[in-house]
Amino acid sequence: MIRVLCVCLGNICRSPMAEGVLAARAREAGVALEVDSAGTGSWHVGDAPDPRAIAAAAARGIDIAGQHARQVSMVDFERFDLILAMDEGNLASLERLRPVAARAALRLAHPDGQPVPDPYYGGDGGFERVLDMLEAMAESVLREGTGRR
């Protein structure tokens, strides 16, 4: 069992989609994986994902409508094996929060280290591009998690 936490800024766009994609692909692959998501910011705590994120994920057969935003906390570094930051800003925030004796590995979500662009204000290919990048993330995490390379 590998426990993965996906983190973005608001936990209403990128990381809820990341959680949904990773959970769906793990289920399909028969890989035992626990996945959650959180935001570095607190503005949207308790909110459902952005309607555009819900719609884009649903178009790929992934239901994220039942998720609720929460803020990342120090205990997450003990609870999870791997924490995936969507961009460098999220990674820097997580590095500041990380306890000295953190258990979780921390890195950028995309396997090539490309930032997953914030789709909240539009542009950059928006939610579709984010989902494509998250598919690559999921494939990479599942390959590592099962020892297949």
Q: Which position among 6, 8, 13, 25 bears the catalytic label? A: 8
Catalytic residue at 13? no
CB of 86 to ligand 4NP, least distance (A): 6
| Comparison of 29 and 97: residue with beta carbon closer to ligand 4NP | 97
Residue 48 CA to residue 115 CA, distance in Å, equals 23
Active site residue 148: no
Binding site for ligand 4NP (CB under 6 A): 8-14, 43, 118, 120
What does the DSSP assignment read for 90-117? HHHHHHHH--TT--SEEEESSTT-----
How far, in Å, CA of 107 to CA of 110, rounded?
Answer: 9
Q: Which of 80, 87 has the CB closer to ligand 4NP?
A: 87
Token pair 């205990």 is found at 75
Q: Which is nearer to ligand 4NP, 134 or 145 (CB)?
A: 134
How far is it, in rounded angstroms, from Cα 79 to Cα 77? 6
**Which of 49/145 has CB closer to ligand 4NP?**
49
Instruction: State the nearest-atom distance from the C-beta of 18 to ligand 4NP, in Å.
Output: 9
Which of 36, 50, 87, 118 is the catalytic position? 118
> Residue 17: helix, strand or coil by DSSP?
helix
Of 6, 13, 14, 76, the catalytic one is 14
| Separation between Cα atoms, residue 83 and residue 61, nearest integer Å | 25
Active site amino acids: 8, 14, 118
